[in-house]
Chains A and B, each alone.
Chain A
């Protein structure tokens, strides 16, 4: 009876641990869990059999590939503003959750602007946007050490056209993963 409890406790322990580290992997590896329970050793040390991993792990991917996957979604801003819009906050919360699940990842936040400002003031505005995003992530518990910021002003528009639709797309903060 005692033994069974121990196994159960250890199993739960493992699931919780694993859940923190990498949610997607845990659900599919009960066989490994039993193994760990017997020895009581650290979970992440154990090799995970490849075939049962159904979702990709960022450890096997290059930074370029990770960035192409778009785990972290960009957010948008209002004209001439740098405060985080209410409708954009859920995106940042999701991004923060992902960052918590991948604690070794470091990011660069890029601030961008639409073309309706001078080069100089758009550089300043883009920097304020990047800082606002950084501060919001820090408030959600992400360490400042993991975040760098840069402003590109209006030099890298997503949409080169000169209309409201394009401008709305170009006022944004992008997330680039720079270390995994």
Chain B
């Protein structure tokens, strides 16, 4: 009897361990990183709290990334290592770490300095050292910047400083907001008392294109975030679903000016525009391919919304979805092979991924609720979307395979997220 009990108790443990050793994260084996407790030298309560937040933010970034696999606290506790300048790399290797990050936060004259050193536990060599300093209010940014440095070192796209634009009605009517990728620092950008919707980030992180009803009918604007200025880009009819080209020089959007929704191309510098589609259906949600050569969009020209890809001049449209009678709101992954979209099946709206190379379709969400406006992270490992699964619409992120679901917003309705794209080809 005792033996059985022991076996039962051990069983989940064994399973858990097995899962860790074989898990593949985002196409590459996750890098097992040891992050022992930071050395914190702070004198004020505020400084201590800020330093702790830097450490927690940094840890959360790594755990989120699916590039790194931080060692558990239990494993960390096995190694007593407090000297950030000379870690016991042999000991770290023995508990399974590939790399070791030694962090230090110091408070100096009202500022914080965050220093990190990365070591290779196998070759026992020093890899990278980086230091950031600034006022306590930039504590989270310092942590995200450090995380980005690690991603860049391992050849990954830095996503921790990327932002998400979205629409919220928390103050009464739908307005444009932005926030950090982890849901912190939510900032309201518009105060029009009209209605704002369907924002899209530029790649340089300085512009958000969005639709506003401030003048009655839906017009398209570009908000220059750091100047606080708006530029009217398209009016007359309804103008929605903008998307910046990888070089941020061209903007695709849909306009109902011709009578039904057609796709237009707008040149930000010359302010000239060109109509790209001529169909009887509503052509919506155009999205540039990551290389800027093709355009993905949805159209109900066949009778119901389906996804299409055409050349960037509007030629050679070809249908890419054949399952289901309602496929819309697509977004193209940075790898160019995956497309995430909304499909209506039996009256339910769920997110699916289509692999263009194999035509394989994978369902990401399930349930009765609405799941909408999916958008890939800059590295394609995560997806942000909105859902009313908890009653009101909220913004959620999950990994590309549907795992690690997290809710980012909670006040009012929050919807139509757009995750900033990063053009790593530049």
Residues of A within 8 A of B (CB): 108, 115-121, 123-124, 127-128, 148, 150-152, 155
Contact = CB atoms under 8 A, between A and B. Distances in A.
Contacts of B416: 119
Contacts of B197: 119, 155
Contacts of B195: 152, 155
Given A124-B284, A127-B238, A118 B328 contact: yes
A151 B241 CA distance: 15
B313 interface: no
A120 B298 contact: yes
B285 A120 contact: yes
A128 B281 CA distance: 11
A121 B300 contact: yes
A121 B217 contact: no
B210 interface: no
Contacts of A118: 305, 328-329, 342, 349, 372-373
Interface string B182-200: 0000000000000101100
B319 interface: no
What DSSP secondary structure best describes chain A's contact surface? mixed
Contacts of B328: 118, 120-121
A120 B307 CA distance: 14
Given A124-B261, A124-B284, A127-B256, A116 B344 contact: yes
Interface in B98-150: none
B260 interface: yes
A152 to B, nearest CB: 8
A121 B284 contact: yes
Interface string B258-288: 0011000000000000000000001011000
Contacts of A124: 256, 260-261, 282, 284, 300
B261 A155 contact: no
Contacts of B254: 120
A116 B349 CA distance: 8
B351 to A, nearest CB: 12
B216 interface: yes
21 contacts: A108-B216, A116-B349, A118-B305, A118-B372, A118-B373, A119-B198, A119-B329, A119-B372, A119-B416, A120-B241, A120-B284, A120-B328, A120-B329, A121-B282, A121-B284, A121-B328, A123-B218, A124-B282, A128-B260, A150-B218, A155-B174
A133 B174 CA distance: 27
B217 A150 contact: yes
Contacts of B373: 118-119
Contact of A120 (B174, B198, B260, B349): B198
Nearest to A126: B238
Contact of A123 (B238, B305, B372): B238
B240 interface: yes
Contacts of B285: 120
B125 to A, nearest CB: 52
Nearest to B342: A118
A147 B74 CA distance: 70
Contacts of B347: 116
A2 B342 CA distance: 80
Instruction: Please indicate which of the listed interface residues A120, A123, A127, A150 has the most CB atoms of chain B within 10 Å of its own CB.
Output: A120
Given A118-B372, A150-B216, A155-B195, 9 more contacts: A115-B370, A117-B326, A118-B329, A118-B373, A119-B198, A119-B329, A119-B416, A123-B240, A150-B217
